[in-house]
Amino acid sequence: MLETGGSARDLVGFVLPESGGLVGSADPARPYVLLDAAGAVVEPVERFFDELQACGRPPATMRSYGMDLLRWWRFLAGWGLEWDRVTRADARDFARWMQVAPKPVRVHWRRRSQGASTLPPARPLVGLPNTVTGRAAPGAMYSARTRVHSEAVLRSFYAFHLDEGTGPIMNPFPEGRDRRRPPGAGRAFRAPSGGRYRPSVPTRLPRRIPDHRFNELFAALKYNRDRALLAFWVSNGARAEELRLILWSGHPDN
């Protein structure tokens, strides 16, 4: 086992331990809790979730943040690191690991009882894009957007504890170097947001449904009212989130 901040870690061969978990709670004040390998609540994350809730973040945001924190906590457990003693080199290795190592493959719960030694090594399969929506299938590696979200969550998590005085004296996930004010910059200067280990996200072309699939969907609708609504939504460029909100607010149970 390398010491904290070691630069020769086998990041490609590192296997993320499947310890701990993020579980939902019936308590509205604790929608989600992060558990460590011993099944105990991770108090630093719990305090961070309290801050998110006080800022008006919905439970879905806590779950999204919690998944990134769970991955980080498992990374720490795999290298024997303490969350409040990590260095910038540890955070850098984590960012590198997410870039070069394939995503871990979960073992089905029915096969876990057989023991890990009896299971063949599983390899993630890369599927084809959805033929209707054009959405890409999950790949074997962490996507750039996943790494961006993870970096932002961990940077905000340590920034919160830095302000509270309960974490390291330095944020292991620093802000980008280009955020420094250049010489001679006026008050109107605004540094670009983002952290030093934040990857660049490639420009993604808008997805669209093929014309023949849209015609099939339009013809399958039973009522002219539904066809008129679909034509209206498509013509004004409404996003999927907006359509889902409209449909939910118009449901008779709401």
| 215 and 168 co-located in one domain | no
CA 166 to chain CA centroid, Å, is: 24
The reported pLDDT for the residue numbered 185 is 55
| 100 and 144 co-located in one domain | yes
| 154 and 63 co-located in one domain | yes
- Please, which residues have CB within 8 angstroms of residue 241's CB and are 6 or more apart in sequence? none
The CATH code of the domain that includes 167 is 1.10.150.130
Q: Are 197 and 91 in contact (CB under 8 A)?
A: yes
| 157 and 93 co-located in one domain | yes
Domain count along the chain:
2
What are the average pLDDT values for consecutive 10-residue runs of the chain, which has 254 residues? 58 92 93 95 97 95 96 96 95 95 69 47 52 65 92 96 93 78 55 76 71 84 87 77 65 53
Residue 18 lies inside a defined structural domain of this protein: yes
- How far, in Å, CA of 87 to CA of 7, rounded? 12
- How far, in Å, CA of 27 to CA of 183, rounded? 51
| 16 and 87 co-located in one domain | yes
HSE, side-chain direction, 13 A CA sphere, residue 209: 11
Residue 144 lies inside a defined structural domain of this protein: yes
Q: What is the pTM of this model?
A: 0.69
Q: By residue range, what is the domain housing residue 232?
A: 211-249
